[in-house]
Amino acid sequence: MNREDSGAETRFLKLSMSHEEPSGERSDARFIPGLPPPTRGAVSIGQARPGARIVNSNGVPGTLGCLARTLHDGQPVLLSTWHVLFGNKAPEASAVWLQDDSASKPGFLRIGRLLYGKLGVVYFEGQECHIDCAIAALQPSQTRHNSAERTALTWATTGSESLTVGSMVTKLGATSGITTGLIADIDFSAMVSVKGRKYFAQRQLLIRPREGHCAFSAEGDSGSIVVDCSNRAVGLLWGTNVRGEGVASPIAPVLYAMNIALA
């Protein structure tokens, strides 16, 4: 099934890209472009966890999807979306910060630096597919963790070909936490507007909220990993629409384009 969303424009799950380009929801005062974050230091792997709130160097917030390793050199990295990590023109090699809520007053801890990403079309297994993804290298302090912690952060990987319409999926987002939904389409297409330019996002996963729930995701959940009932990664969440449905890139093209395997 190839469903095109013509009734509701899909938008990024962002809080605010900048003061000049506010989204529908105003950003929290803590997320100010050009911060330096007030708290600096090493971060334990327990803090740099899937679902944690991250912020790029220009104040764009989102969700840490999961940890991974590059296939070409085995470097430990974190995975999120391009529009979170590189949003508001954040430069390559700039810092990625973790929001630290452990203290009475929230601060920010540096957890890595930007490497690369892609927002656009990738050619994968004979088909074009839209992806919105990026990775950041973890600081050395992030890689010193024990096997028990590593196991707790591990997902098996699978492509969207294993999904069917009606399959139940789950995500852990920095804003809305754990939510479950049902796959409404595995070949979804949507028109997306970025800085006034519209383009076509094709072969996406469309996820509708479960009955009795208003939305699968919320502003600030971009970058969340979507998993199936067997806890296997199936998608990377990047968008939503007015119906509360989530939109995610299938995980297989994301891993291919970033040349990574989930840690």
Q: What is the pLDDT of residue 211?
A: 85
Residue 91 has what DSSP assignment?
P
Are 139 and 62 members of one domain? yes
Are 146 and 162 members of one domain? no
Q: Give how many domains the chain has, as a whole number.
A: 2
Are 129 and 159 members of one domain? no
Q: Return the ∠ at Cα 14 (arms to 214 and 107), rounded to 5°.
A: 110
Nearest to 124 by CA among 259, 238, 232, 237: 259
Question: What would the two tokens of residue 64 be?
Answer: 């840490």
Q: What is the sign of the dihedral through the CA atoms of 45, 50, 53 and 56?
A: positive
Are 135 and 40 members of one domain? yes
Are 30 and 126 members of one domain? yes
Nearest to 18 by CA among 37, 8, 33: 33
pLDDT-based confidence at residue 98 (cuts at 50, 70, 90)? very high
Are 122 and 188 members of one domain? no
AA identity, residue 90: A
Q: What is the pLDDT of residue 236?
A: 97
User: What is the average pLDDT across 14-27?
Assistant: 32
- Tell the residue number behind the tokens 């452990």, with chain if given: 102
Domain containing 184 equals 155-251
- CA–CA dist 231, 170 (Å, integer): 8
Beta strands at 107-124 and 127-138: parallel, antiparallel or unpaired: antiparallel
> Could you say which of 152, 187, 222 is where a domain stops?
152
Interval 149-180: pLDDT, tens: 444 445 666 665 678 999 999 999 999 999 99
Say what the pTM is: 0.81
Q: Is the pLDDT of residue 2 over 80?
A: no
Least confident interval from 60-74, 111-125, 133-147, 205-219: 133-147
Domain assignment of residue 81, yes or no: yes
Domain assignment of residue 242, yes or no: yes
Q: What is the pLDDT of residue 40?
A: 38
For the domain that residue 222 is a member of, what is the CATH number? 2.40.10.10
Are 125 and 206 members of one domain? no
Domain assignment of residue 260, yes or no: no
Domain assignment of residue 137, yes or no: yes
The H-assigned helical ranges of the chain are 82-85, 147-152, 251-258
Domain assignment of residue 23, yes or no: yes
pLDDT-based confidence at residue 38 (cuts at 50, 70, 90)? very low
Are 71 and 144 members of one domain? yes
Q: Is the pLDDT of residue 16 over 90?
A: no
- Say if CB 142 and CB 96 are below 8 A apart: no
Beta bridge mates, 128:
123
User: What is the average pLDDT across 116-129?
Assistant: 95
Q: What is the pLDDT of residue 127?
A: 93
